[in-house]
Amino acid sequence: MNPESKAFSAEPDRVLGAELRALLDRPGEAEFVAAVMAGAAAAGVGSTRAVLGRWARLAVAGLIVAAVGSALVIRSTTEPAATLDTEWVAAATGSAAAAALFTSQNAPDATVLYASVESN
Amino acid sequence: MSAVPDREAAGSRDDDEPALVARALAGDRTALGVLVTRFAAPVRRLAYAILRDADEADDAAQDGVLQALVKLDRYDPSRPFGPWLMRIVANAAIDRRRRRAVRETSELDEGLVGGGPLPDVEVDRLALRQRLAMALDTLPQRYRMALVLFDVEGYSQAEIAEILGVAPGTVRSAVFHARRRLRRWLEGWKEGGGES
């Protein structure tokens, strides 16, 4: 081994590496593997339950995304349906414009407001 | 004893690791066993290099591998599996070392590190190994980890940087300084007449 010449080398020092490996290697690898596999089994790694759980999480996440997406699409493409409130105000005032004005969930439209004033 | 870094000796099998992980996640116990067996020696060596206690090293390596297996679905298959696993194991060993009550001297005074010829002039390979073990013990933890990952396990500087969470330049510096310190220790052995 010539550590001096290898000090600046960007390549692995194979001789030093072999010595270090011999120093760090210990018996008991099979026992180690067995212990890890037993631990993994106890923790449910790769079990049917874990696999199903992962798929279930993915499915739930997908359903949530789909539901939110669908709600947004439906909300943007459909007109608001007439509600009981709208019908009641229309019946009480005799004005569809007033009903639209008072029952709207959005800020009043100036044209609707004007039409209401004009009709009265 | 092989003189080639572990990954090279293994014949560059990294390519099939994402597939093995996918199979393990799907419940294939054989694939899981292949992964654990393949990395058993490297993770044990790394943990031992960090902790320098065989029993604690095996416990830490086991903890680390189990942690990795439990969160195997978080592994990014577009990246190499080895550095991902080694980082988790390294962190497990470092945590264990931090918790260890026994105070350790991680770095000896430079004046002691230089050393002289060993008293026993009939040093053999065992003596070299003992000397190397002593030298390794004197290295700061990061130097030890970088040296083992580079010279023993054959990871690239970029991969080691990922494992240790440092810049590649820091890895290069750590390997350089680790080798230089080992050289100082081993010079004493060589001057004493030992040679492999």
Residue B12 amino acid letter: S
Global ipTM: 0.78
Q: How far is A66 from chain B (nearest CA, A)?
A: 23
Q: Are B128 and B177 within one domain? A: yes
DSSP symbol at A82: P
The token pair at A18 is: 């072999």
Phi/psi for B69 (5° steps) reads: -65, -40
Q: Are residue B121 and residue B69 in the same domain, yes or no?
A: no
Q: Among B77, B104, B131, identify where a domain stops.
A: B104
Which residues on B lie below 8 Å from A19 (Cβ)? 128-129, 132, 196
Whether residues B75 and B145 fall in one domain: no
**CA–CA distance, A117 with A114 (Å, rounded to integer):** 5
Q: Do A21 and B152 touch (CB under 8 A)?
A: yes
Q: Same structural domain for residues B125 and B35?
A: no
Q: Is residue A70 part of a domain?
A: no
Q: Is there a domain that residue A19 lies in? A: no
Does residue B1 sit in the same domain as residue B47?
yes
Helix, strand and coil percent figures for chain B, each rounded to 5: 70, 0, 30
Cβ <8 Å between A8 and B6: no
Write out residues 25-84 of B within 8 Å (CB-CB) of A: 25-29, 32-33, 36-37, 40-41, 44-45, 48-49, 54, 58, 61-62, 65-66, 69-70, 72-73
Residues A14, B3: C-beta atoms closer than 8 Å: yes
Co-location of B84 and B157 in the same domain:
no
Count Cβ atoms within 10 A of the Cβ of residue B119 and give its class: 0-12 exposed, 13-18 middle, 19 or more buried: exposed
How many whole angstroms separate alpha carbon B136 and alpha carbon A42? 36
Same domain, residue pair B1 and B94: yes
B179: chain A residues, CB-CB within 8 Å? 3, 6-7, 13, 16
Size of interface A-B (CB pairs under 8 A): 125
Residues B96 and B180 in one domain: no
Query: Which pair of structure tokens corresponds to residue B193?
Result: 């007449």
**How many domains, chain A?**
1
CATH number of the CATH domain containing B186: 1.10.10.10
Which tokens belong to B74?
């978080």
Q: Does residue A69 belong to any structural domain of this protein?
A: no
- Residue B172 makes CB contacts below 8 A (sequence gap 6+) with A10, B157
Can you give the residue range of the structural domain that contains A114? Answer: 80-120
Distance from CA of B102 to the nearest CA of A (A): 21
Pick from A26, A32, A43: CB nearest B70: A43
> In this complex, which of B5, B48, B66 lies closest to A40 when CB atoms are compared?
B66
Tell me the pLDDT band of B96, cut-offs 50, 70 and 90. very high
pLDDT in tens, A16-52: 899 999 999 999 999 999 999 999 999 888 776 666 6
The pLDDT value given to residue A119: 66
Domain total for chain B? 2
* Residues of the domain holding B180: 108-196
Assign 3-class secondary structure to B41-54: HHHHHHHHHHHCCH
Let me know if residue A12 belongs to a domain: no
Instruction: Report the percent of chain B where pLDDT is more than 70.
Output: 76
End of a domain among B104, B123, B148?
A: B104
Residue B55 pLDDT > 60, yes or no?
A: yes
Q: How confident is the model at residue B173 (pLDDT cuts 50, 70, 90)?
A: very high
Domain CATH code at residue B77: 1.10.1740.10
Structure confidence by residue, pLDDT tens digits, B97-154: 988 755 454 444 443 444 555 445 445 677 788 888 989 998 999 999 999 999 999 9
Tell me which residue in A7, A15, A51 faces B26 most closely, judged by beta carbons.
A51
